[in-house]
Amino acid sequence: MAAEPNFIFYDGRCGVCHSFVQFVARRDRRERFHFAPLGGQRFAELIPPDLRTQLPESLVLRTPAGELYYRSVAVVRVLRELGGGWRLLALVLQWVPVGLRDALYNQLARIRNRLFRRPADVCPPLPSQFRARLHR
């Protein structure tokens, strides 16, 4: 039986988030990540109501153990899990204080609509081999 996946919950209206989902899906050779929009059905199934209200509207990583990480900490953990050179990048990013990483993350979030087109659908377009890991 396959291990329970990590879930990356993302803002379905954010072009940066869609790009990140596509980036991870293409590099996740071990298929450890599944993807679902914040506020979607899978999000409601896996995140208790009291925790949903406490989470920022940000990238959220849920591990198989039920741990939740968000913003830059989630990005670093995803990169580490991807392995290879991405693990090395994660190790370098871990040396940057979380407050500074999150400040940069928040700055990118503020200008994201100027940098990336707003998606037409909450689920990013993915090649067919990745679609089984995309949930609503």
Q: For residue 29, is it within any domain?
A: yes
Mean of the per-residue pLDDT values of the chain: 87
Are 59 and 21 spatial neighbours (Cβ–Cβ below 8 Å)? no
Residue 114 domain boundaries: 6-123
Q: For residue 133, is it within any domain?
A: no
Q: For residue 45, is it within any domain?
A: yes
Residues 6+ apart with CB under 8 A from 43: 9, 36, 37, 52
Are 115 and 16 spatial neighbours (Cβ–Cβ below 8 Å)? yes
pLDDT band at 61 (very low <50, low <70, confident <90, very high): very high
Looking at the structure of the chain, the number of domains it has is: 1
16-26 burial code (b ≥16 CB/10 A, e <16): bbbbbbbebbe
Please state the pTM of the whole predicted model: 0.86
Looking at residue 1, its pLDDT comes to: 40
Q: For residue 71, is it within any domain?
A: yes
Q: For residue 13, is it within any domain?
A: yes
